[in-house]
Structure 1
């Protein structure tokens, strides 16, 4: 396990970077042109980044990135 000490400004910046990365991955997951292997890889990475973001974000903000209906797996 690795630990970091961040001040308030750095925490806000980290949350911003993670939020933008989550937005980008959601956009990629909605692209039906990507094959299933790439989508699974993005999905795995999304889960990791989401867990990181959950450490910074308030509950209200976090609920925007829960993926319970946004991504439907297709069998291509």
Structure 2
């Protein structure tokens, strides 16, 4: 495990960078020209970045980036539906 100490301005910059990366990945994931294998790797990257983003923002802000995972063209349904 690694730790990082950031001041307020650095934390804001990290939040901004992570948010931009999430938005870029969402845009790419919606592109029908991208192959399924590549999308799966992108989805894994999205989940990793999302977990980092959650550490920098309150729940109200990160909830808009919650995605259901997609495998083989089917979405997994959560048990809380």
Same fold (TM > 0.5): yes
TM-score scaled by length of structure 1: 0.89
1:39 maps to 39
- Unaligned segments of structure 2, at least 5 residues: 75-81
| Greater fraction strand | 2
1:12 to partner: Cα distance: 0.5
Task: Count the aligned residue pairs.
Answer: 74
Q: Hey, which bits of structure 1, 4+ residues long, moved more than 2 A?
A: 71-75
> Does structure 1 retain, via aligned residues, the 8 Å contact 2:40–2:71?
no
TM-score scaled by length of structure 2: 0.83
- Unaligned segments of structure 1, at least 5 residues: none
CA RMSD of aligned residues (A): 1.9
Flag the structure with more relative contact order, 1 or 2, with Cα contacts below 8 A and sequence separation at least 6. Answer: 1
